[in-house]
Amino acid sequence: MKVPAYAKLNLSLEVLGHRADGYHEVRTVLQTIDLADRLDLQPGPGLRVECDDSTLDGDANLVWQAATALAQAAHVLPSVHIFVHKSIPVGMGLGGGSSDAASALVALNQFWSLGLSTGDLAQIAADLGSDVAFFLWGGTALASGRGEQIKTLTPLPSMPVILICPNDTIPNKTREMYSHLTPDNYSDGEATRLLEEILQAGHFVPDMLHNVFEEWAFQVFPGLNGIHQRVSGSVPNPFHLSGSGPALFCLPSTEDEYLRVSNALQPTEARVYLVGTVGPTKHQG
């Protein structure tokens, strides 16, 4: 069995405040794009997870944790060999690890003939990571709580997206980014609610995109300012941060704009992609 694991963008991301459980309360609109990892599953005597990035082999990979959690919930032995082919850059705010885990849950549900519903899988996903549950559905969705409560929205039509991934990572990135937020950065979720209404009406307004981390990302990631300065005049629509960064995206875009951005970033080590939005995941059963 071969299954894709799509990356995501945050079209809106607001933090409402601290929760009693130590997490943050968020409101975010998420969108899958067709930049994807691939999981190859084969029968095996036990659980084995490998990746073409050897640092993500074994129990260091969220796929391992997903397989183990699903096997425990279904009272089966985790017998499978999974190889993860990485195409989604790691540590960019694109949700690659979470998407891999969600795709593993969906694929293993079929591979092991468990017959669990997407709702059943979502309960397992919530314990693996805040945004794992979203990838069970994909497409366009509102996530709330700490990110695990999912409401599917009217899907965006297919449209091209320029994606920039700087060669710029920091340890414990998500925790670091959240540590910079102050109560002044917290909001009431109104910006996300308005975007949700617009999307539900079948419209899309690029000016409505918002990410609370953008204020801090250009201070935390040293190379981001230079990249943004190089590309800001290349396209009519602004670039926005995805998740906690440092990936930037421009939606919608064109192939000509992609070429201009690629040329502008040639002197840098940033990777530039022309990708597209994708709709909800179709599950069997």
- Non-local (6+) Cβ contacts of 216 within 8 A are 177, 180, 181
> Which amino acid belongs to residue 180?
H
Q: Measured between alpha carbons, how far is 228 from 241 in angstroms, rounded to an integer? A: 11
Q: Please identify every residue annotated as catalytic.
A: 8, 131
Q: Measuring CA to CA, which residue among 282, 245, 281, 283 is closest to residue 9?
A: 245
> Which amino acid belongs to residue 221?
F
Partners of 249 in the β-ladder: 163, 240
What is the 8-class DSSP label of residue 75?
A: T
Q: Measuring CA to CA, which residue among 258, 260, 269, 29 is closest to residue 163?
A: 258
Q: How far is CA 248 from CA 25, 86, 124, 165, 218, in A?
A: 23, 19, 30, 7, 11
Q: How far is CA 35 from CA 4, 38, 246, in A?
A: 9, 10, 16
